[in-house]
Structure 1
Amino acid sequence: MKKSLLSLALLVSSLAAAQQAQPLPSFSLTRFGLNDGGKGGLGAATGDTLDQFRFRATLGFHYENNPLVYYRNGSPAGSLVEHRAQLHLGMAFGITSWLQLAGELPMVVLQSGDDLSNVAGTVTPDSFGLGSPRFALRMGILSQGSGGLAKNTGLDLALQLGVALPFGVGNALNIENGWNVMPQLSAGRDFGPVRFGGEFSALIRQGVALTPSTTKDTVGHQLGLRALVSSTGEYVRFEGSFHTLIPLDGGVPAGFELLGGVRVPIGPLELFALGGPGFGNLPGTPSFRVFAGLGIKPWAEKCDASSSHTPAECPDLDDDQDGLRNRLDKCPLEPEDKDQFEDDDGCIDPDNDRDRVLDGEDKCPIEPGPKSNNGCPIRVRDNDGDGTPDVDDKCPTIPGPKSRQGCPIKDTDGDGLEDELDQCPKEPGPRERNGCPLKDRDGDGVEDTADNCPDEKGPVENQGCPAKEKQLVIITKDKLVITDRVYFATGKATILPVSFPLLNQVASVLRNHPELPMVTVEGHTDDRGSAKVNRKLSLARAKAVQQYLVHQGIDQGRLNAMGFGPDRPSDTNKTEAGRANNRRVEFVIEHPTEP
């Protein structure tokens, strides 16, 4: 993971070491904050506001790892801030159903890093400090529920204006250099049990020149983007979010973070935790961060699941727990019966086909029919149910295809092939063998000629061997194809132990198939090096494999060894992958020639 780094000219300035160590100019290093009201999610705003007169307070512990790293000539030389722990006190209040006021006060309680005064000319920041307070006013424009200026729309949309004041205590990179203004646009929407949303924001602040050497030292205006997906409901909730900050003063690439979180309600309290890695070179983007704490609602919301309310008063709840919020549920107090018939209206459908036969008694619940026929439509009589009406069916009590006027196909051996097309009408066999049986003595569906284990049952995909050992050998007409390579010591004919299981399977196949009279072990190389040396090496390797198989009990008279060096490539020698494919061992089945 690439750690956050102060990739400004401060860190590469040739003047820093020559000057007396100075403290960094005042600016707030931390660029992450919770969604104040926390209604839609914690990691990002999603267009939501608190209900009127509702209040939420949070106390959180926030840890960042390596949010400020000193780089020299592109390489890390130390961490100006390696560990940073803060406490965050936050509050949000719903002034109206569409207007929310929030505030936050951060406090650095622990901060440490490397002493880089002789390297970067910078004094290590203080380990404690009271940060700049932040206030935000959010206005709900659209709302899926009862909030917002426009209610019951298909989207939550909100505008927010935030400010951070240049006040604080200490020099812990916790105080803004001037007034900060933070406009924000956020939006979100629920899709059943999942909510999607995000925010787009800007940070307008006085630029901070960290060193006088270049304009790239300025930490100033930024654009921010967050995207969030979270679960909904009144119980344990999960969320994941993506965060990016894009500096507008140039010189430093954007920073990215991926955070996951969980929220656990306990009465009026909520325990929460978020955390995840960071990527990029932007000051304030840590290698990872963890934010955990406690949320407090001192009185029950009107629309808490446990409070007394009507569905109309709380359109965002799902009172009957059928997966549809009250505002979308035509029967908000009766759960949908989930029978794949009009399941999106939230109502029970006791008679799907409306034939006055209840579904529990209806043998055709989605086809209307009279009660006398068990709710099924009256159709043309077809006693054997073969689709041929009895009036046209020459075999009305025995099902058969229409092409045979309702009479069954004559298939004495029951192999699915009509007797008149079956070359073995009294012995079942597959169609591709014209109805004649396979020679398969273990009865596992793999012909003996292709079965690595002809006396043990096994699946077709494992070449007829038991699934406990994956087969690496495939029997074809001309070769024993191996699905792995035979590995040798570099430049030698010594077989590496990793290939023993593969060669043991080759030996097993040869033992189980004595009908294979002769197999030639071929050695091949790529075209690198001397062709003469490669031919000699490939022959030595082929003979090593031959001897290994002999030691496994294979008659040497059934084995031959040949080395072709680079003369018979199976792939290109212009790429590393192609050359690797050319360095191979093959097992060629030698068929006796016709006299």
Structure 2
Amino acid sequence: MPPWPRLLPFLLLPALALLPAPPASADDTPSLAAEPAPAGDRAFLVEHADVRGHLLPSARLLLDYARRPLVLRNPNDELDPVISDQTYFHALASLSLFYRATVSLDVPFSLTQAGSTPPSGDAFPRAAVGAALGDLRMGARVRLAGGLDEAGQGAALGLSASLWLPTGTDGYAGDGAVRARFALVAEATGKRLHGAFSGGLRTRPAVALPGVLPTRVATSLTLGLAGGFFVDGARTLTLGGELSADLPFLGGARLFDPRATVAHALVTGHYRITGGPLEIGLAMGPGLGRGAGSADVRVLALLGYAPVKAKPPPDRDSDGIPDKSDACLDLVGVESGDPLLHGCPEPPPDYDGDAVPDENDACPRAAGEATFVRKTHGCPKDTDEDGVPDKKDACPTEPGPKPPAGNGCPKPKEPEPPPVASLAEQEIVISQQVQFETGTAVLRPESDGVLGEVARVLTDHPEVTRIEVQGHTDDTGTPDVNRKLGQDRAESVVEWLVRRGIARARLVPKGYGSDKPIADNTTEEGRGKNRRVEFRILEKKPVTKDASNPAAGGAK
């Protein structure tokens, strides 16, 4: 809601002041009562600007005694004390709202008002001497700018408005008409000093009181100044002074006319009992004008209840944590021992403490890092993606098995098996035996693999021009039989190689039988090793660039 609708009543009051004043009451006896500041204000007559609390009530009972508040000069040129002594009692109450506005009420009672008679006996009409109800006053104030901080220091500017209802029941207790006041109010408070200012406009019915020199009451300018100092650091005792003035300027009155001006200078003292909300105060001082209500001496005494609730420090997000210590100014948060998190929303559960919430953590029980990839977000770093975190991976850049099968390193490579057939300096070495049917030269099918590799070597190396295919046996049987078996087996191998394209001229079969054992023939293992075929190189020549196609194997 824009602020101007709240200020509309205050903006209309100056216009009301310029309207013709309503007719005065029949007895033309205007109110002579002082107009105290609202309950809760530090001053007696000068209204303050700040608002100290929300839904915070204040109350005050004020006794106002005035000596000779109305003196007129009669036709005999004598001073006629129409009211020589007057005592008022004010019951005041106020309520602060939102640390921004205050509404107030003042119910005045005239307790005593008496006048003495001049020597000639020629006196103006007197008021009744009994108690009478005065004009009830309702007020409102809004703080426009500034304000006191939690220590009660600072400056504030505000607008104030009051409305009097014609409830006065006897002469000089009320004006007999509705009246209003509009004022600009300001205050400033430091550690030891304080001050307040009020300036505005008040409407009143125009009245010219009888007398040789008429005393006029009319719409007027109002001014007020208050200041003082705190005697102690707790601000329980305050001493100071106030100046208030009512300066009529309509209804035939001239501004600063002494017979229309109502002004008072007061010396004030204010004490908060035990530093709490209960207060007592006393003020007294002379009048500075001769208008109706400007007394020779005025004495005010008060007893009140004025609690003060400091305005809370700024809290932009309304989370109860002041902005000056709130790490997240725009987010409702909670208190925290960590100043970087104080006032921030409570973090979601994070079991492993890696700053990745459990609900988004792919590894909620293992501290990791943010990767923003769903399957690894919040998981320990695993460069080689082998499931073993880098901190525990003995080989972080090479994938390997997890414990207990491994430590993250790849398993050593198995040595490559030796080739089935390979060319050495003096022979073609085979890693598998050529197999024959027992006691015969018949090749078994499983021998095709090793003999195929031998054929490959011979094909790849045409420089090997002659090899001896040797047939060896164990010592089972007679030497002649074994030699014959060895010879037959060597020839079977040669025939197999020839069928595979190897030139017969390169192959020389030779049976040695059991004459050249390589192992102990007394054991089965040894005899198995002795039953073998070997390929010994007999001739080898260098290979030339224009050698015949090796695929032909030298075949004719």
Find the structure with the greater CA-based Rg: 2
TM norm structure 1: 0.43
TM norm structure 2: 0.46
